[in-house]
Structure 1
Amino acid sequence: MADAVAPTQIADVPLSGVIGMPIGHSKSPRLHGHWLKHYGINGHYVPMSVMPEHLAEVLRVLPFAGFVGLNVTIPHKEAVLTLADVVTDRAALIGAANTLIFRPDGKIHADNTDGYGFIANLRQYAPDWQADAGPAAVIGAGGAARAVVASLLDSGVHELRITNRTRLRAEQIKGEFGARVVVYDWAQAGNMLDGAATAVNATSLGMTGKQPFRIPLDALSPDAVATDLVYTPLMTPFLEGAQQRGCRIVDGLGMLLHQAAPGFERWFGQRPEVDEAARAAVLE
């Protein structure tokens, strides 16, 4: 669970934003811009392209330049942990942060809300989903997958199956998260889905411009809930295949929306609604 966070002191015109390299693809400015306008908040959300060698300097300056916090994306999600003054338990466990809160004294609080966003998305669009309904199967072992693994285990999944092209990364996750994690060879990824109640694609396979998703879904039960972290396209090959099997499917856009809500609340003092208007704003 995350450590308790004192509310950020709201500046006269609070500023927040997202840092990464590159940053032009980020949909966060659309989402936060929508929420700022919807709630009539006099604030701004700024996308910033920051080179890794400039990260520490940027983070030292922004808390004293009207910024109340930031979202963090590739390639800075791991590096910011070493620069933060306070790191939540879940960010430390995952090994990455996606949300920074700047305190009035300039100290930086680092959190990871990806796992929260993942579970909130499942609960919104598959409201009868139960973590303990059966094994969960996770394809991929990168940073996003680590957040998914942590959140599923925390929610009560009894057995979590994981596979990755590089088996070592999956073994590392097992070593850190314990005996409930079972590693499968990449060649056995299709078999891993047999009997799974929850199936997750946490790779970029099937994403626009990336390699295709070719893992067979024949073993996937029609009773399973399938979700993809990819949201470009919204209906990914993995979700199409799962839907054809009769599964309930949950697209990845909701995770993006839900993971953003805690940061927005801490920065601007308003808990935003994750609704169809927010989805539409991001998809414009």
Structure 2
Amino acid sequence: MVLAEPGQVLSEPPAGPTTGPTGGRRAGVLGSPVAHSLSPVLHRAAYDALHLTGWTYDAARVEADGLEAHLAGLGPQWVGLSLTMPLKEAALALADETSDLARATGAANTLVRRADGSWSADNTDVHGLVAALGEAGVTRLEELLVLGSGATARAAVAAAAALGARRVRFMVRAEARPETVAQARAAGLEVATTGPGRWPATVEAVVSTVPPAATADWVAGLPAGGTAALDAVYGDGDTPLLAAARARGWAALPGTLMLLHQGARQVELMTGRPAPLEAMRAALAAATGHALAPTAR
């Protein structure tokens, strides 16, 4: 499996909208690339568990400049879409209605079709992070340390605010992105930055939003005594951050755990039913060959 962003099929589908069975309901994931998305595994498992016969979930390769035309070509049987890179900002701009979280993060990973045919945008990555950290017992934070400051980091900032944090600290090569800093301050968070591998003496929790290979030299100084480390970018096997965290007694949270919870919230938004979380967890574990739970040394 090649590295993929949260919300990013095991074969590359053709670009452009497709039609569905008469009387059925359709949903899917859009992005470029989408070849490695595990979202179809999650959503199809949910439909099976909920006995939603006639519901399908597929994938299409769509570029940011093609999203508007793609949406216009979708028939009334389409109820929702998951968005991965590079579509999250474009989806927000094209939506007719946006949630507070989508506006705060400047990104939408979910579009839900309303009864009048318009689209409502949301960001379930925030829920995915909060719920994944919750599995490791993190329900309150003083400070969250975030590796990177891009689009996924903005979801981490919103998660920190939801967990009652006072401060967010960005580990970045240069300056943290101004829009991410502005979002953190608008949420009432203090902002600090540090360079790669320059860890504070104590760290409560870490969320990495950068490619794992880029962090190989960053994690050597990770202190002991922290609670949980989550690598939002998922792929094959372990990552340097998770291995270092586990070796120091932290709970190590794979990105697939965040994917599970953000996908569960998407299922609820698109179907109007409670997500069958454990059925989705089992399907994702079977697809990846890895248990979806925090691990420790």
TM-score normalised to structure 2 length: 0.82
Instruction: Give CA deviations for 1:108-165 in whole Å, capped at 9, x if unaligned.
Output: 10000101011111112x1x32423x42211111111110111111220122111222
Once the two structures are superposed, residues 53-86 of structure 1 have per-residue CA deviations (whole angstroms, 9 ceiling, x without a partner) of 3211111232x34100100111111011111100
Corresponding residue for 1:262? 265
In structure 2, distance between residues paired with 1:57 and 1:106: 15
CA positional deviation for 1:168:
4.2
- Identity among equivalent positions (%) equals 32
Contact persistence 1:141–1:173 (CA under 8 A): yes
Give the C-alpha shift of residue 216 in structure 1.
Answer: 3.5
Counterpart selection for 2:56 from 39, 44, 47: 44
Secondary structure at the counterpart of residue 26 of structure 1: coil
Give the partner amino acid of 2:180.
Answer: I
Superposition map of 1:7-156 within 5 A: 12-42=23-53, 43-62=55-74, 64-124=75-135, 126=136, 128-132=137-141, 134-156=142-164
Q: Which residue of 1 aligns with 2:14?
A: none
Distance 1:27 1:84 in 2: 24
CA contact (8 A) 1:14 1:267 kept: no
Could you tell me which runs of 5 or more consecutive residues in structure 2 were left unpaired when the two chains were aligned: 1-21, 290-297
User: What is the letter of the counterpart of residue 152 of structure 2?
Assistant: A
Candidates 176, 181, 191, aligned match of 1:182: 191
Structure 1 counterpart of 2:171, from 163, 170, 173: 163
Pairing 1:232–2:239 present: no
Relative distance call for 1:101 and 1:160 in structure 2 (3 A) is same
2:206 to 185, 199, 203: 199
Specify the alignment match of 2:292 in structure 1. Answer: none
Is this contact kept in 2: 1:20–1:73, CA < 8 A?
Answer: yes
Question: What letter corresponds to residue 243 of structure 2 in structure 1?
Answer: E
Go from structure 1 to structure 2 and tell me whether the alpha carbon gap of 1:190 and 1:233 turns closer, same or farther (over 3 Å shift): farther
Q: 2:7 matched to which residue of 1?
A: none
- Using the size of structure 1 for normalisation, the TM-score is 0.85
Runs of 4+ in 1 over 6 A off after TM superposition: none
Instruction: Tell me which moved more, 212-221 or 234-243.
Output: 212-221
More deviation in 269-278 or 30-39?
A: 269-278
Question: 1:225 Cα shift?
Answer: 1.6
- Corresponding residue of 2:283: 278
Could you tell me how far 1:32 is from its partner in structure 2? 1.1
* Partner SS, residue 161 of structure 1: strand
Contact map agreement 1:87 1:110 (CA 8 A) in 2: yes
Task: Assess, with a 3 A threshold, how the Cα gap between structure 1 residues 212 and 220 changes in structure 2: closer, same or farther.
Answer: closer
Structure 1: 5+ residue stretches without partners: 1-10
**Aligned AA for 2:81?**
L
Task: State the Cα distance separating 1:35 from its structure 2 match.
Answer: 1.6
Q: Distance in 2 between matches of 1:75 and 1:47?
A: 14
In structure 1, the residue matched to 2:294 is none
Structure 2 distance, partners of 1:68, 1:130, is: 32
Tell whether the 8 Å contact from 2:63 to 2:87 is kept in structure 1 after alignment.
no
Contact 1:41–1:268 (8 Å) recurs in 2: no
Q: Work out the CA distance in 1 between the residues paired with 2:176 and 2:205.
A: 23
Give the equivalent residue in structure 1 for 2:245. Answer: 242
How far apart are 1:280 and its partner, in Å?
A: 2.1
Q: Deviations over 1:25-71 (max 9, x none)?
A: 11111111122222221200010112333211111232x34100100
Q: State the distance in 2 between where 1:121 and 1:212 align.
A: 21
What one-letter code is carried by the residue in structure 2 that aligns with 1:197? E
Q: 3-state DSSP class of the match of 2:120?
A: strand
Alpha-carbon separation, structure 2, partners of 1:59 and 1:281: 32
**What is the RMSD computed on CA atoms of the aligned residues?**
2.0
